[in-house]
Chain A
Amino acid sequence: MGVLDSKIPSGPLADKWTNHKNKIDLVNPANKRNIDVIVVGTGLAGGSAAATLAELGYNVKTFCYQDSPRRAHSIAAQGGVNAAKNYQGDGDSVYRLFYDTVKGGDYRSREANVHRLAEVSTNIIDQCVAQGVPFAREYGGLLDNRSFGGVLVSRTFYAKGQTGQQLLLGAYAAMNRQIQRGKIKSYTRHEMLDMVLVDGKARGIIARNLVTGEIERHSGHAVVLATGGYGNLFFLSTYCMGANVMAAWKAHKRGAFFANPCFTQIHPTCIPVSGDHQSKLTLMSESLRNDGRIWVPKNIEDAKAIREGRLKPTELKEEDRDYYLERRYPAFGNLVPRDVASRAAKERCDAGYGVNKTGEAVYLDFAAAIMRYGREKALTSGMKNPDDATVRKLGEEIVEAKYGNLFQMYEKIVDQNPYKTPMMIYPAVHYTMGGLWVDYNLMTTVPGCYAAGEANFSDHGANRLGASALMQGLADGYFVLPYTIGDYLSDDIRTGPISTETEEFDAAEKNVRERIEKLMSTKGEHSVDYYHKRLGKIMWNKCGMARNEKELKEAMKEIAELRKDFWENVKVPGSPDAKNQELEKAGRVADFLELGELFAKDALDRNESCGGHFRDEYQTPEGEALRDDKNYTYVAAWEYKGEPSKAKLHKEDLVYENIEVKTRSYK
């Protein structure tokens, strides 16, 4: 297998994690007090890892670029978190969650990791309830569930449309408890600009205090990167504005392999782009597909009339609507996985059936659900013959209770009332399955550097199922990493504190200072956003929902040129020794300009379609993704070699011993 050793434990799948945990080297509590761990990122993965590591006795330092750990991007997650609790008694199990996730990922994830994820999923819910996370409950007082795409059971726990917020506040509260005990030192408004290696091991970071501009050195016996995904590479996405790849990319340049960069999730239900001024896109949670039906007009003339404002969607008769997901995928209907739903929307819009000004939108319609819920409610409240208006009112109340904040968000942005007229939605970049390559212990190819949450590549293969990112972040942070890291740190009990006054720290700091100096001194013609937007256009047009050889090659060339221009012509005002948001952005965009090229290279190299990676050249006659299992059942892990285009490919072969690899079908 060459340099990549995934360290998957031997033995039967269901026993691997338990056996591994039993065999892991432990660090005794007295020694943990002598060990420092740096955790970069305070989202679900970093927050939960930091709290648990501190509780176990390690000295933890956390870093985030926001002004509070509670504002990490996880806060924005809406729909829910999966767990194989089988509270609904609908046939769910650890195996089924494992199976759904591997299948949903289009057979490009590691069996052992996914099974572990499914196993610990149930602990997450217990843990969060104990912490006081107010999940939605039924009238009987028990926890409620909803369904997400790509599965046939109801295993998603939720807190209205604010599940991520509630889970993150839980992890943040656990962090606060440790901050209060002095076991976590929290650095906010701090950005990691480089990683420091001593004798080949990750031993610290260089960070910039974003308020004062000071460059700081921080050392530790291990460095955990929980810095989220890199979807902002596309400029427009559902990510928060500051989301970036800097920490992961710097680790990559220091030797950590970057896995499957081209596996990116384009989410089917987002609010469409309204104009050139657009700065970000807003997700409408997948949970809405439980009750919303997706459609476009059946006749192209109607679509045109709607676009020109001559026809209203509510005026179109049932038989003139094309519920294309229900038509193409009768078994899963509106609940097909995201990659499938996104491509189907693109297919209809490309064919001329789009319903907004730009022709890039489809409908998500709640009228049927409102009436269905209304009728049910009328019956249970003992109403004999309620009129339509009453039924609609009752139904709207129920829909509001379920999705109120999402409907409000939609109305504020689009200025239309989604209770009365269908929502307009279109796919947008939402999540990155790719990330730093990690072994079973979540360690990257740099000893002592770990990656958790969206920052690693590990569990979702080529497509992530809804409500599984929150699950993975918390699984990594609460239940996996704090234990697997002991295996590594047990060798460090006699090391003593790591000094920051060494050649290695000097060199890393110098490197950081020179880069800032270069960005500030260019004093060119264009703002950072100018470059970011251009990069986004290349990515969306040539590396987006459908890719092909010719355009990927063009993208690589264009990105390299844009990068060159950036370093010659970017304009960063202000001073490096003060709060400077343009400088912050410049550093992030500089890294995206490198990652983008590797992304295109990875997509070009993968001559198959799988999950979120769709190559025009590889599709079935019906337009479904065509995998090539014989040649591509591997993780593509890229080693940095000076230039993104020169990155060296290492393959981790994926072996399926417990699941039969099949063509993914949701028909």
Chain B
Amino acid sequence: MKLYLKIWRQKNAESKGSMVEYTLDGIENDMSFLEMLDVLNEGLINKGEEPVEFDHDCREGICGTCSLMINGRPHGPDSKITVCQLHMRSFNDGDTIVIEPWRAKAFPVIKDLIVDRNSFDRIQQAGGYISVNTSGRPVDANAIPIEKDLADASFNAATCIGCGACVAACKNASAMLFTSAKVSQFALLPQGRVEASERVLNMVRQMDLEGFGNCTNTGACEVECPKGISLENIARMNREYLSASVKG
């Protein structure tokens, strides 16, 4: 198939970027979207031009590195997948495809389609853990049975890959879905209850400090999340936050 690409090019964080157009031929259905970009880049290199930089690593939907806005949708037109899992069979011959980086104040562009998501790391550093020593002698793993439903719910929250699509999808660039998934993962388990109040207060404080926007319940994040992280997590975090604030 033949494609018309419009891609955001930006030299570095300081410079101003712009959309650049490319025409690409010979793309096959079986190719992944990133393999299509590989073909584009190979062509650019052979012509002596700088290739388009984009973030990716595992190319199987688990590391959370890939992060492209395709025709206005984070991770592209398919639902419940990351862009590295997107295949060209989702497009048609002659299509125009617009490719941009995540847009958010807390995710500054580094180069072309690559953004800096360290703000997510800092939110997790603020409290996304259980304070147990790794060199200690914990009790036997089966000493505390945990209800399967709770364990499964915690797991579901923990499958967030930290990609940032929720932020990119949100008109306010809010990080509530991500932060609430992290808070929920621990809040749902007995091991995590001990520090629950402190955790939610610290993580939310950091989230606000990073400059993410407020949540106005539009739900766009849930729709675009490649891992199906549910809005219930936001509701849970709000409850946790409220009760923690009351406790002071």
Contacts and interface: CB of A to CB of B under 8 A. Distances in A.
Contacts of B140: 126
A413 interface: yes
Nearest to B57: A240
Given A73-B58, A137-B148, A582-B45, A412 B87 contact: yes
B174 interface: no
A43 B97 CA distance: 35
- In this complex, the member of B42, B116, B135 whose beta carbon has the largest number of chain A beta carbons within 10 angstroms is B135
Given A71-B57, A73-B58, A165-B62, A176 B124 contact: yes
Interface stretch (A15-23, A271-279, A362-370): A271-279
Contacts of B117: 67-68
B191 interface: yes
Interface stretch (B16-24, B26-34, B210-218, B240-248): B26-34
A341 interface: no
A55 B133 contact: yes
B89 A415 contact: yes
A334 interface: no
B185 interface: yes
Given A71-B65, A125-B141, A134 B58 contact: no
Contacts of A73: 57-58, 63
Interface string A169-197: 10011101101100000101000000000
Interface stretch (B1-9, B98-106, B151-159, B230-238): B151-159
B110 A579 contact: yes
A361 B186 CA distance: 42
B59 A279 contact: yes
A242 B57 contact: yes
Contacts of B50: 573-574
Contacts of A164: 62
A280 B125 contact: no
B89 A174 contact: no
B58 A160 contact: no
A177 B162 contact: no
Classify chain A's interface size: 35 or more
Given A75-B58, A240-B63, A415-B89, A134 B151 contact: yes
Contacts of A128: 141
B229 to A, nearest CB: 13
A134 B134 contact: no
B128 A173 contact: yes
A578 interface: yes
B51 A581 contact: yes
Contacts of A390: none
Contacts of A582: 45, 51
Nearest to B124: A176
B30 A274 contact: yes
A171 to B, nearest CB: 8
A129 interface: yes
A478 B134 contact: yes
A139 B192 contact: no
Given A134-B185, A160-B155, A70 B162 contact: yes
B53 A68 contact: no
B148 A67 contact: no
Interface stretch (A140-148, A305-313, A325-333): A140-148
Interface string B124-155: 11101111111110111110011110011011
Interface string B34-55: 1100110010111011110101
Contacts of B32: 279, 413
A85 interface: yes
A132 interface: yes
Contacts of B89: 415
Contact of A67 (B48, B65, B129): B65
B139 A132 contact: no
B146 A137 contact: yes
A431 B81 CA distance: 26
Contacts of A166: 155, 158
A56 B134 CA distance: 9
A66 B121 CA distance: 12
Contacts of B78: 412
B61 interface: yes
A277 to B, nearest CB: 5
Given A415-B89, A579-B111, A174 B56 contact: no
B65 A415 contact: no
Interface in B55-104: 55-65, 78, 80-81, 85, 87, 89
Contact of B130 (A75, A130, A140, A242): A130
B116 A129 contact: no
Contacts of A165: 62, 158-159, 161
Given A165-B159, A240-B63, A174 B134 contact: yes
- In this complex, the member of B60, B151, B161 whose beta carbon has the largest number of chain A beta carbons within 10 angstroms is B60
A93 interface: no
A632 to B, nearest CB: 36
B147 A275 contact: no
Given A408-B80, A412-B85, A71 B34 contact: no
Interface in A480-538: 482, 527, 529
A280 B59 CA distance: 7
Contact of B134 (A66, A127, A139, A408): A127
Nearest to A160: B155
Contact of B38 (A76, A126, A162, A279): A279
A279 B35 contact: yes
Given A75-B63, A581-B53, A67 B147 contact: no
Interface in A45-76: 48, 51-52, 55-56, 66-71, 73, 75-76
B82 to A, nearest CB: 10
Contacts of A211: 110, 116
A71 B42 contact: no
A56 B135 contact: yes
Contacts of A66: 57, 63, 65
B178 interface: no
A233 B63 CA distance: 21
Contact of B139 (A126, A180, A242, A408): A126
Interface in A607-645: none
A174 B129 CA distance: 7
A135 interface: yes
B49 A51 contact: no
Contacts of A660: none
B145 A141 contact: yes
Contacts of A574: 50
B30 A76 contact: no
A130 B138 contact: yes
Given A68-B162, A211-B110, A277-B28, A141 B147 contact: yes
A75 B82 CA distance: 15
Contacts of B146: 137, 141
A68 B118 contact: yes
A43 to B, nearest CB: 11
A24 interface: no
Contacts of B145: 137, 140-142
B28 A275 contact: yes
A241 interface: yes
Q: Would you list the 4 A-B pairs with minimal beta carbon distance, nearest first?
A: A141-B145, A173-B129, A130-B138, A134-B155
Given A70-B162, A169-B158, A176-B129, 18 more contacts: A55-B135, A67-B55, A85-B142, A131-B134, A131-B191, A132-B186, A136-B151, A137-B145, A140-B145, A142-B145, A165-B62, A176-B128, A240-B59, A278-B35, A279-B32, A408-B80, A412-B87, A578-B12
17 contacts: A55-B134, A73-B63, A85-B141, A126-B138, A132-B185, A132-B191, A132-B192, A141-B147, A143-B141, A159-B155, A169-B158, A176-B124, A176-B128, A277-B30, A279-B38, A283-B60, A579-B111
Interface of B: 11-12, 28, 30-32, 34-35, 38-39, 42, 44-46, 48-51, 53, 55-65, 78, 80-81, 85, 87, 89, 110-111, 114, 116-118, 120-121, 124-126, 128-136, 138-142, 145-148, 151-152, 154-155, 158-159, 161-162, 185-186, 189, 191-192
